Amino acid sequence: MPDRVDILIVGGGLVGTSLALALDAIGRKTALVDIAPPRIATVSGDDDRNLALARASVNALSVLGVWPLLEASAGTIRRVEVSRAGEFGRVRMSAEEAGVDALGRVVPGSRLGASLERRLAACRNVQRLAPATLEKLEPIASREHHDVPHHLPGAARLPPSPQRGEGNDNSARSGIRASPTPEREEGSDNDARGRARLSPSPPWGEGWGEGVSGCSGWRACIATTDGERDIDARLVVGADGSDSFVRSAVGIGAQTHDYHQSLFVCTVSYEREVPDCAYERFTDDGPIALLPLPNQRRGLVLTVTADRHDEVAAMDDAAFLAFAQARFGWKLGRLSRPGKRFPHRIRRVLADSVTAPRAVLVGNAAQTVHPVGAQGFNLGLRDALTLADLIDGADDPGAPALLQDYARRRQPDREGVLAFSHGLVALGCLAQPMIAPFRSLAMLTLGGVPSLRHIIARRGMGFRDRPPVAALEAGP
């Protein structure tokens, strides 16, 4: 007989594990499939990828009990400065002007992963299968499915989500062993800012669900170190990354856009102290960012054109530092002591829908965005916590109305971040001398109008439209 759970999460990365913690807190019987063994925190953060956490994400991690395990290793962002190489104007935002103590924080990715692992080990309602791979998914006919208790005794509950207006993976470690459906190159159905015209309604039509498809859940065949096992779930969540098998298995297509850029991330030391200030600088070849960390270190995020990937990857430390220094300038003095470099090819992947019958996508499985502005994990975390908000108190976590509500709730935030990240790259890095004066004028205007800076700062902090309740627990 297969095991039965309310929710099966495929992908034990940062977003999938965060969702598991949120579901455990509201007492939902959950299984988490993770292809990788438990994470181990590194002793030093010098050889690590670093994540910029929006204020809303810090609030949410605090509610999940993760932030106290991370805070000592986190840098603080109290100021942000955005500029364009060789042009006038810059935009400066500050926590003081926004009325908060910090705009965000910066943490080593491995420390965040290990802290999530520690919290996961204490969960009573989550069954973790790791290392394990998802072999296949099959729909369950309504007559085959037997309900499972949707709240377990003695479980803590997050407060219900209020009605709110404005104010509000990375690596997914997917747990799959199958080739995803090939992605399509984006065509003319996207506007100039790269905002995909996606409907909040699923492609199955308004009447999809048990009444039409006869699907009351999914049976997952999972390969573990102890052999194969089957799990029946009333809802399957794809948190399995850009090449999501769940997305393919439930029949959702995707659009892909190649930015023809590569990203190099590492940590560096610097000479001149500018406390708690994050820098983003745009150039013809792509953006470069320096993020504040403890112990006189900075997280370096350097974008290069794809044709220079191999050249930059082959540079020794001295050549790489000289290259980064030329791109960023001397505002922080001489850069030195680079940590291990992590290269990534940059592409955008957008699912055609974020829901299917008794299935939902979160994080990079739903949308993989350009890393400029550090929006990826923050957006995925809001996906996960919005889903948990809607499931809290619901009789059926996979009900059609619930999943349609999820898609509607996530649409403004999703499309806003997609347009923001794509537009920044398209306009900020466009090597066209004729538009330089207009770009400088836009920078001067944004930098000189407090109300505009306030809007940008709040959205950068993760407070857009209707946020998940956990994101607002300590919010402004």
Residue 181 has pLDDT above 60, yes or no: no
What are the strands, taking DSSP E only, across 55-204?
A: 75-77, 79-84, 90-94, 104-108, 126-129, 132-141, 184-185
Per-residue pLDDT, 276: 96
Per-residue pLDDT, 438: 61
Phi, psi (degrees; rounded to nearest 5) at 138: -130, 135
Per-residue pLDDT, 442: 67
Q: What is the pLDDT of residues 74-114, one digit of tens each?
A: 999 999 998 887 666 778 899 999 999 999 999 998 899 99
Which are the contacts of 379, defined by CB distance < 8 A and separation ≥ 6? 363, 367, 369, 413, 414, 417
Q: What is the pLDDT of residues 63-76, one digit of tens each?
A: 999 999 999 999 99
Measured between alpha carbons, how far is 156 from 144 in angstroms, rounded to an integer? 31
Measured between alpha carbons, how far is 178 from 248 in angstroms, rounded to an integer? 10
Structure pTM? 0.84
Q: What is the pLDDT of residues 262-278, one digit of tens each?
A: 999 999 999 999 999 99
Measured between alpha carbons, how far is 199 from 360 in angstroms, rounded to an integer? 15
Per-residue pLDDT, 182: 43
- Cβ–Cβ < 8 Å for 79, 94: yes
Which are the contacts of 347, defined by CB distance < 8 A and separation ≥ 6? 242, 256, 257, 258, 259, 368
Residue 171 has pLDDT above 60, yes or no: no
Measured between alpha carbons, how far is 101 from 95 in angstroms, rounded to an integer? 6
- CA distances (Å), origin 277, targets 239, 264, 381, 428: 32, 20, 24, 20
Residue 392 has pLDDT above 60, yes or no: yes
Enclosing H/E stretch for 231: strand 227-238
3-state secondary structure of 354: coil
Per-residue pLDDT, 353: 97
Per-residue pLDDT, 453: 78
Measured between alpha carbons, how far is 266 from 148 in angstroms, rounded to an integer? 46
Per-residue pLDDT, 359: 98
Most confident of 177-186, 194-203, 280-289, 457-466: 280-289
Higher pLDDT, 475 or 432: 432
CATH class belonging to 3-42+106-258+349-427+464-472: alpha beta
Structure tokens given for 102: 């910090």
Mean residue pLDDT of the chain comes to: 81
Residue 184 has pLDDT above 90, yes or no: no
CA nearest to 265, candidates 109, 115, 80: 109
- Cβ–Cβ < 8 Å for 105, 74: yes
pLDDT above 90 coverage of the chain, percent: 58
User: For residue 131, is the peptide bond before it cis, meaning its omega torsion is within 30 degrees of 0?
Assistant: yes
Which are the contacts of 353, defined by CB distance < 8 A and separation ≥ 6? 198, 199, 202, 203, 252, 407
Measured between alpha carbons, how far is 302 from 318 in angstroms, rounded to an integer? 15
